[in-house]
Homo-oligomer: A and B are copies of this chain.
């Protein structure tokens, strides 16, 4: 994992700025013979796309993916050849003028100050490389990653927004993708609650954080490795690499710090089919850094968007105190669109470990 590449055998390199002509990714190390369609990728991008409800940024980007290499056509399908898959998405609706005022100011909570300390210069338009637009490339890569591990399904859901949270008793995966559900919540009852709450936030020119849960089903036992290739380590690394993420936990996560060994340990029995059965999943499907065959469960916390209309105290490049108010179009809760991004990162991390495991051990 270095600079702009994620993964070891299944490697994703992303590039592109918010206000440049395009952004994209190169997916390297994909096995040959994987079948998919351009639509498979586009559908994932559409889930993350801005401008789809009043609860996300009003920037209008079609986010149409072009697949430039690494596949051959076979009827309507594409088949991977084992060579790098380059995908490109053009930026269409960049309004750089929105950012004129803040070219020399550091927006609180943004990367502006840190960037300038690092590079000595920055592309201030839309945050440049630190824009959430970069995550479109991850989602495209994730659409390929989802096809690597046979039988794996990776799904995500928003489980809380600011002070409001779902009722897990109502969890319904099918509802997450419902067109009437602008929040990726699995709880139908939560929709009007989140809608009212976020309308208030939005109208106040404010923003709010969120908590996302990702579940990967169908992951075989044995992926990962004991020390610096722990599966949970690389999932955490992938999720923490998403903009605005401030915390990651696996299984019961921070709750594990509070309980005893008796309560925490997931007991096992031989099931009726003669196969091992776990009686609980506090571990989130990973023990000693290696998958157990249970569902992989990870959660991550997304901070509130730093671009808000309320003026905040800050400084400028010349060393003056200033008050900063961000006028650009922004998500009042960037955590909503983080759901497909989190899924993509988990899919990429697991796909990579699937190939690594197969490489080292010869097991499939």
Q: A84-B13, A113-B276, A206-B261 are in contact. Are A227 and B163 (CB under 8 A)?
A: no
CA distance A9 to B236 in the complex (A): 21
Contact of A359 among B6, B9, B119, B246 (CB under 8 A): B9
Q: A272 at the A/B interface (Cβ < 8 Å)?
A: no
Q: A15-B86, A249-B247 are in contact. Are A81 and B119 (CB under 8 A)?
A: yes
Contact of A114 among B108, B229, B288, B301 (CB under 8 A): B288
User: What is the total number of copies of this protein in its complex?
Assistant: 4
- Give the shortest distance, in Å, between A158 (CB) and chain B (any CB): 10
Q: A119–B32 contact, CB under 8 A?
A: yes
Q: A252 at the A/B interface (Cβ < 8 Å)?
A: yes
Residues of B within 8 A of A359 (CB): 9, 355-360
Q: A264 at the A/B interface (Cβ < 8 Å)?
A: yes
Q: A189 at the A/B interface (Cβ < 8 Å)?
A: no
A sample of 12 cross-chain residue pairs with beta-carbon separation below 8 angstroms, ordered by A number, consists of A4-B229, A5-B28, A6-B228, A13-B28, A20-B68, A23-B69, A81-B119, A109-B265, A117-B290, A201-B260, A246-B252, A268-B313
Q: B289–A111 contact, CB under 8 A?
A: yes
Q: B69–A290 contact, CB under 8 A?
A: no
CA distance A113 to B288 in the complex (A): 10
Q: A319–B270 contact, CB under 8 A?
A: yes
Contact with B along A203-242 (1 / 0, CB 8 A): 0001111110000000011111111111011101100110
Q: A335 at the A/B interface (Cβ < 8 Å)?
A: yes
Q: A256 at the A/B interface (Cβ < 8 Å)?
A: yes
User: Residue on B with the closest CB to A354?
Assistant: B359
Q: How many residues of A contact B (CB 8 A)?
A: 153
Residues of B within 8 A of A127 (CB): 288
Residues of B within 8 A of A224 (CB): 114, 118
Q: A291 at the A/B interface (Cβ < 8 Å)?
A: yes
Q: B258–A247 contact, CB under 8 A?
A: no
Residues of B within 8 A of A301 (CB): 249, 253-257
CA distance A230 to B244 in the complex (A): 11
Q: A108-B268, A246-B284 are in contact. Are A261 and B308 (CB under 8 A)?
A: yes
| Centre residue among A22, A265, A313, A362 by max chain B CB count within 10 A | A265
Residues of B within 8 A of A160 (CB): 257-258
Q: A130 at the A/B interface (Cβ < 8 Å)?
A: yes
Q: A72–B240 contact, CB under 8 A?
A: no
Q: B16–A287 contact, CB under 8 A?
A: no
Q: B288–A110 contact, CB under 8 A?
A: yes
Q: A269 at the A/B interface (Cβ < 8 Å)?
A: yes
Contact of A110 among B31, B68, B287, B360 (CB under 8 A): B287
Q: A196 at the A/B interface (Cβ < 8 Å)?
A: no
Contact of A26 among B26, B268, B284, B314 (CB under 8 A): B26
Q: A155 at the A/B interface (Cβ < 8 Å)?
A: no
Q: A134 at the A/B interface (Cβ < 8 Å)?
A: yes
Q: A70-B15, A258-B162 are in contact. Are A82 and B118 (CB under 8 A)?
A: yes
- Give the shortest distance, in Å, between A353 (CB) and chain B (any CB): 10
Q: A185 at the A/B interface (Cβ < 8 Å)?
A: no
Residues of B within 8 A of A284 (CB): 246
